Structure 1
Amino acid sequence: MMRTIDLRHQHLGRSELLRLVPRAAVDTGTAVERVKPLVDAVRDRGEAALREQARDFDGVDGHALRVQPERIAASLDTCPPEVRAALEELIAKLRPASEAQVPAEQVTRFGDGATITQRWQPVGRVGLYAPGGKAAYPSSVLMNAVSAQAAGVPSLALASPAQRDNGGAPHEAVLWAAALVGIDEVYAIGGAGAIAAFAHGVPSIGLEPVDVVTGPGNVFVAAAKRAVTGLVGIDSEAGTTEILIIADSGAEPRFVAADLISQAEHDEAAASVLVTDSAEFAARVQGEVATMAGRTRHAARVHEALSGPQSAVILVDDLAAAARVSNAYGPEHLEIQTRDDGAVLALVENAGAIFVGGYTPVSLGDYLAGSNHVLPTGGTARFAAGLGAHTFLRPQQVVAYDRAALAGTETHLLALARAEGLPAHGEAVSERFRAAVDDPAADNPAPGEPVSEHRHGGSR
């Protein structure tokens, strides 16, 4: 079912590995051309354009685009008790883990009267998107919402596609999640239209523009995010899910096979990759996959995903080579199931999230580990991080110098201003030390006189 890529006895550089690792074929650029008219229509015609898109893409017409807060709260009456308990456990784990991502304020002092305070300021308003395609994702709503709340974001709005079988409201499970975290601004808007509505606002339904848009979605949602980037911030252009497992012959083949299948059931384009130094172990996993995939509920979807070019079993000489392949791939989810997990982990550089040991499957992270499951895909883990409280925070440096501290920088600052041909920069400092009758600080140290044993440059 899964193709085999044999990299044994080859000394491959980084560029060759980047070319050889399997990837899903996703053309966001072409999708941008298709969604841009949809985004522009929402910008120009607001609610009318959203209703047209709901009719054309969701098959829903005449529904309320904004869900009443009472309807959101009442949705919990339909939530099965065991599901509510599970969602509440997820929130209870996710909240402290997200709060731990908020850096403490730090103050740097350059002698008396000169400080730089590093603070992390939350954005003012965030738009959260929850997809409504092959499944409902209340867990994704919570991952986004709790992270934003942990960061201190004061205003959250949620959008998800209208459902014909729910009276034009979003999926009931999405409403459960919103109710549990206290989001009372929810819109029945899907796809590119939702992203455009967040970016531009829709006054007729009370939707104010946001500062940051986050949440998973298909390629058209990713394309819409690209189209509005610069007007608003985004978390990422998330693609289809992917798992890479580094395993040796000490791993349990059934565990590895089950984990490959678990991610393949998301989507026909999902990527499942095994990297191993044992051809015998690879064959055992392949056998388990063939047996187990046929028994799963989404067998056809799983078969297509595992048979596609984005999935593979990769054979390597040793686990060090396996780590090099993984670093080149930059997986969204990386599992390590080996005899010495710690040694392999020490070699890993690039991954969205890492799951160590045979009893830490990715599905645990999808739901109840306490980690965030909104992660970089398509190799972007080589330079990007998963979603967290930090997604909604901006580092700001607050600079505060008193007169004496500024005087201590004047000589060096004037030298730099002259060197860069920007004399007014220096004059902005010197002007503060010109003697004046009404200057209460005129008897303080003159410019150039030492006020501290520290010497330091000022900021432009």
Structure 2
Amino acid sequence: MRGRLAAGETLDYRRIVPRAPFDVAAAMAAVAPVCEDVATRGLDALTELSEKFDGVVPEHFRVPAEALAEAEAQLDPEVRAAFEVAIERRRVVAQAERGDDSVAVDVAPGARVIHKTIPVNRVGLYVPGGLAPLSSSVIMNVVPAQVAGVKSIAVTSPPQKEFGGLPHPSILALCRILGVEEVYAVGGAQAVAMFAYGVPGLCEPVDLVTGPGNIYVVAAKRLLKGRIGIDSEAGPTEIAILADASADPDHVAADLISQAEHDPLAGSVLVTDSPELAERVAAAIEPQIGRTLHQERIRTALTGEQSGIVLVDDLEQGLAVVDAYGAEHLEIHTAGAFDLAQRVTNAGAIFVGTYSPVSLGDYCAGSTHVLPTAGAAAHSSGLTVQSFLRQVHVINYSADALADVKKTVEVFARAENLPAHGAAVTVRFADDPSIS
């Protein structure tokens, strides 16, 4: 993009910057009959769909308590220690997110409005189990739900052939460590439908479904939104890095690669005002890919239309580009990175400086890693304690306080041509001629 503004060109950064195609509307046509099948046939539908989509039918769709206990007992001690650090840090931050249960505001004598927060009663948490068993998503979903005060928490994750139809052992172990006893071996759109409609004898309906998944999980969430609440419609994961000449090209390359490791559709975008840095990052990528496990997946992601290097005139234009992009994860590798981060308006999470990589946030920074994708950061937030809380106003007026605004209500009601609204106040003072 260098020089194009000076040449008088009008640039629509949102259209120009690379992004993965993600057609949720098209996927809804595929998931609609799946969800309807679960709604009407329940357990029989889950059995057939599990065989069709997962290639295995669990002996028990609800994971037995013994399986959870065994997964915890067999957990590698080093892995458990890592899990516990991540849990503790996420819980500390979640406690700060919780805020006050209620705030009372007296707008006039005897006229009080209470802003009250009430946790959702029951939630269903989806944990992906496809290309990578995202056990970290158990922490990111369960911990804020617990801190919010949700009374009933259910977790589901796809059944795995190699584990006898159970979800991945680390997912089960984390559920056990966190005290979640209701765990299901159900994946895909059918899992969302199970939570939304309930399955007699197996699973009660939930009020809210959260957690990332593939396009069919996202489509089911969109289809069933209204029957259930949802957190977001998460698309392919993405990273944007805003960097200048001071950035370490090896660090930048490693972070672009780490995000590409998630999925062939993952987006890795570098925005820089330094052609020299761009060249050095490009040169550093291939040697690092050669040392990774998932080379084919990473190369597919980095060479796809969703990834690339964007050259800008200066950091001001770079800031405008990343704001327009609204990345799920935004890293800033510049001089004065913290100050620049304060000026960002659209990002799921902002990682400041070379020692705050996205992979830190994925596991144990204490922040959430369930974040808006596909530019949704312009209007939506990541999954936090607030995602599990409802805001309710409790209105408590005395007779005198209502009398003070009687005329205001009546006038407003006439202006909106809703006279019965005004009459609902008038009737309360019909026997008191002193109140006009």
Partner of 1:458: none
Rounded Cα–Cα distance in structure 2 between residues aligned with 1:195 and 1:8: 48
Deviation digits for residues 125-169 of structure 1, max 9, x if unmatched? 100011111111111011001111111111011111111222221
**Aligned residue identity for 1:430:** T
Deviation digits for residues 189-241 of structure 1, max 9, x if unmatched? 11111000000000121x01001101111111111111111110111111111
RMSD over aligned Cα atoms: 1.5
Count of matched residue positions in the alignment of Structure 1 and Structure 2: 434
Task: Say if 1:154 and 1:41 are closer, same or farther in 2 by CA, change over 3 A.
Answer: same
Rounded Cα–Cα distance in structure 1 between residues aligned with 2:178 and 2:334: 38
Task: Say if 1:358 and 1:14 are closer, same or farther in 2 by CA, change over 3 A.
Answer: farther
Rounded Cα–Cα distance in structure 1 between residues aligned with 2:147 and 2:171: 20
Q: Rg: which structure is higher?
A: 1
Partner of 1:31: 27
Matched, 1:179 2:167: no
**Aligned residue identity for 1:72:** L
**Normalized against structure 2, the TM-score is what?**
0.97
Matched, 1:197 2:194: yes
Matched, 1:57 2:53: yes
Unaligned runs of 5+ in 1: 1-5, 436-441, 449-460
Rounded Cα–Cα distance in structure 2 between residues aligned with 1:419 and 1:312: 56
Matched, 1:415 2:411: yes
Partner of 1:332: 328
**Aligned 1:380-395 pairs, distance under 5 A:** 380-395=376-391
Task: Say if 1:14 and 1:229 are closer, same or farther in 2 by CA, change over 3 A.
Answer: farther
Task: Say if 1:223 and 1:255 are closer, same or farther in 2 by CA, change over 3 A.
Answer: same
Residue 333 of structure 1 contacts residue 355 of structure 1 at CA under 8 Å; is this kept in 2? yes
2:309 to 302, 313, 335: 313
Partner of 2:159: 162
Task: Say if 1:49 and 1:127 are closer, same or farther in 2 by CA, change over 3 A.
Answer: same
Rounded Cα–Cα distance in structure 2 between residues aligned with 1:13 and 1:342: 31
Q: Once structures 1 and 2 are overlaid, which stretch shifts more, 376-385 or 59-68?
A: 59-68
Residue 58 of structure 2 contacts residue 185 of structure 2 at CA under 8 Å; is this kept in 1? no
Task: Say if 1:446 and 1:154 are closer, same or farther in 2 by CA, change over 3 A.
Answer: farther
**Aligned residue identity for 1:196:** A
Q: Once structures 1 and 2 are overlaid, which stretch shifts more, 319-328 or 15-24?
A: 15-24
Matched, 1:262 2:258: yes
Residue 371 of structure 2 contacts residue 383 of structure 2 at CA under 8 Å; is this kept in 1? yes
Residue 58 of structure 2 contacts residue 159 of structure 2 at CA under 8 Å; is this kept in 1? no
**Aligned 1:197-216 pairs, distance under 5 A:** 197-205=194-202, 207-216=203-212
**Aligned residue identity for 1:95:** R
**Aligned 1:33-432 pairs, distance under 5 A:** 33-61=29-57, 63-104=59-100, 105-205=102-202, 207-432=203-428
Rounded Cα–Cα distance in structure 2 between residues aligned with 1:8 and 1:176: 54
Rounded Cα–Cα distance in structure 2 between residues aligned with 1:8 and 1:172: 53
Rounded Cα–Cα distance in structure 2 between residues aligned with 1:222 and 1:264: 20
Shift of residue 102 of structure 1?
2.0
Residue 63 of structure 2 contacts residue 166 of structure 2 at CA under 8 Å; is this kept in 1? yes
Shift of residue 15 of structure 1?
6.6
| SS, match of residue 265 in structure 2 | coil
Residue 242 of structure 2 contacts residue 270 of structure 2 at CA under 8 Å; is this kept in 1? yes
Task: Say if 1:45 and 1:339 are closer, same or farther in 2 by CA, change over 3 A.
Answer: same
Task: Say if 1:14 and 1:406 are closer, same or farther in 2 by CA, change over 3 A.
Answer: farther
Rounded Cα–Cα distance in structure 1 between residues aligned with 2:88 and 2:435: 57
Q: Once structures 1 and 2 are overlaid, which stretch shifts more, 285-294 or 323-332?
A: 285-294
Rounded Cα–Cα distance in structure 1 between residues aligned with 2:58 and 2:302: 41
